[in-house]
Structure 1
Amino acid sequence: MQNTTLIGVPNARITTPAELAAAGYLARYSGSTRETYRVSLKVLWDWCAELGIDVLGGMRRPVLELFARHLEEDRGNSPVTVAMRLSIVKGFYAFAEIDGYIDRSPAAHIRMPRVYKDESKTLGLDRMELGALIQAARASHVMDNALITLMGMLGLRVSEACNVKIEDYQQIERGHRVLRIVGKGGKPATIPLPVPVIRALDAGAGDRASGPLLLRRKSGEPMNRKAAALAVTRLCKAAGITKKISPHSLRHSYVTACLDAGVPLRDVQVAARHSDPRITARYDRARHNHDRHANHTVAAFLAGAA
């Protein structure tokens, strides 16, 4: 891949072991994930090309430490971005070792930047705000209603919502109408549909019996991520919501609503399709950050003395 900008691009010539190693690594992924990985590897390839370093044979841990500083200082990448790019690079070298291109991964012990996450910012919309958004969507258009219902009441990711077809939710399983999707990482999921959700989806489908459920209101073309994001922004404004809300914020709102409604943590993990229970637990901690904060207890304790 050295001296080329076609890392992971279909039909690009593969002429070196490094290119073949990278092509095999990228082939594990698809869509936007593969493109993200390709871009990150290209950053490494370009940097190595400038310094005349062989990506496989000439790579050592100290060189990768310098690459990390290049990301931080020369490119000005944030700790989150640096951590993401280094994780991808670590994966590449791990598989290069597995596949026999190198004896040992030079990235195994590279220092990763510390990334801190403010859990209080993952709350999304509270119950009243989410309710107002759903009402605004219902009053706007059947497509808006179906979109917000899929993300706010089922917790679908925006790409999952845009990929829903009418025929995907016509089956009955164990007495429930269900939606079948293929989620993140190619994992299939069967989701039971409450009556209000069925009504919203059926209204969006109208007389159609097949094809994409979500269509753009003006053109009638299938809705994509960009159109969905614009719809969410427009509907939040109509609902009087001033927070900066993205489509993924609605998934956050769904998880928080589950917890606030008293759904057990394990059941929320299953509903949200989180692979790791620690991901779900972050929402549980975040929603009570301010309510349980020690400042309230200290203020009450000192009230009688101050």
Structure 2
Amino acid sequence: MRNRTSPSDFILLGLLLKSEITGIVFTVIFVIFVVAVMANLVMIFLIQVDSRLHTPMYFLLNQLSIMDTLFICTTVPKLLVDMVSKEKTISFVGCGLQIFLYSTTIGSEFFLLGLMAYDRYVAVCKPLRYPVLMNRKVCLLLAAGAWFGGSLDGFLLTPITMNIPYCSSLSINHFFCEIPAVLRLACTDTSLYEALMNICCVLMLLIPVSIISISYSLILLAVHRMHSAEGRKKAFTTCSSHLTAVSILYGAAFYTYVVPQSFHTPEKDKVVSTFYTIVSPMLNPLIYSLRNKDVMGAFKRILTHCSSQRVVASIA
């Protein structure tokens, strides 16, 4: 294969190589996409309009919903279009933009989930000082730090990935431009870059995982000292949703960026990528809404308000 001398289109081979069940898979992914976008937008709307949700925890949840919405919109629309069209190409610039957006959003989500563990630690272990330790300025700094950490990942990895010489065969065996899949097309040895990328990703996982580990260790100690069964139940309820979201995203990321490439196959990579790019953004708002009385209460109040407005309008 000869080297690529100028930027050209990549070909995305897609999620499925067999076309027999494309229609079913398309329908499932489309439904998940719609549910994910709607659920996250509803979370953002409720947190913005309901004053009872104007707290540090829901401010961070609002940021999580924004990240999930951007994340799933970066990859899934292109996947759905490719599943129903003959042309499955993505431009060189489009591929680079996709790498930057998903690297930034997932990196930001890594940091945000770690910082949300600190919020849970303060809420459980230092409830009286919670308004001081988690004031608006601190929340803004935490959110800005998460976005900055994620964008740093995108700005570091994207230029290097897109400046590697690629061969004339530009068929990516994936449904989006994920860095490990793109690097398989390189015409040069990328082992050094892959090692640096793995170190970068390990650090990005290690920092939030350390925060989560320390925070929940202190939370467990505090819960162990509690004499009230109701207090323990409330503490576990407060933390369970966050731990569920962390397990889903970090587990998939650990496989993709930490497990050696010798254990990877294109089929396994697609399954794991499907889980964290499609399923996780749908599950996060559902986990935090269905298991949260405050969110469900806000949703019911909005519905009641809308119903009363209709009644008034019909009478008038």
Report the TM-score range of the alignment, normalised by the length of the smaller protein: under 0.3
TM-score of the aligned structures, taking structure 1 as reference length: 0.23
Q: Which has the larger radius of gyration?
A: 1
Which of the pair is proportionally richer in helix? Answer: 2
Q: Which has the higher contact order (CA 8 A, sep 6+)?
A: 2
